[in-house]
Amino acid sequence: TYVVTEVCIKCKYTDCVEVCPVDCFYEGENMLVIHPDECIDCGVCEPECPVEAIKPDTEPDLDKWLEVNTKFSEEWPNITTKKPAPEDADEMAKVDGKYEKYFS
Ligand code: SF4
Ligand code: F3S
């Protein structure tokens, strides 16, 4: 599966949702996640994200993000249509420690 990672938090460009052939993105207040059981590993979303928040889970050190995607894709509503990103999305994409701040 592919996973959405920390960079998406408070950034949320949502370009990714428009290209997914199986509509497996789910939207929380601060980020999007991919449903790991629905993702067919096509990879088309990865280059769509302007801030490179989407990674294949074969990359190292993504265990935490696979957990986040698995858990919240069961709780959050599906999203299939792009919406405007926050005005400070580019700045927020560069901020570290967003997981600790917004998920605990
Ligand atoms: Fe959707 Fe393909 Fe991205 Fe998986 S890899 S979330 S199926 S666009
Ligand atoms: Fe997030 Fe990138 Fe999609 S910022 S909403 S993963 S386009």
Q: What pTM value is reported for the model? A: 0.96
Alpha carbons 18 and 67: distance in angstroms, whole number: 24
Q: How far is the CA of 63 from the centre of ligand 2 (A)?
A: 19
Alpha carbons 48 and 93: distance in angstroms, whole number: 15
Q: Which of 2, 6, 25, 22 is nearest to 82 (CA)?
A: 25
Q: Which ligand sits nearest to residue 56's alpha carbon? A: 1
Q: Give the tens place of pLDDT for each residue, 6-50.
A: 999 999 999 999 999 999 999 999 999 999 999 999 999 999 999
Residue of 42, 57, 82 to mutate, ligand 1, most atoms within 8 A of C-beta: 42
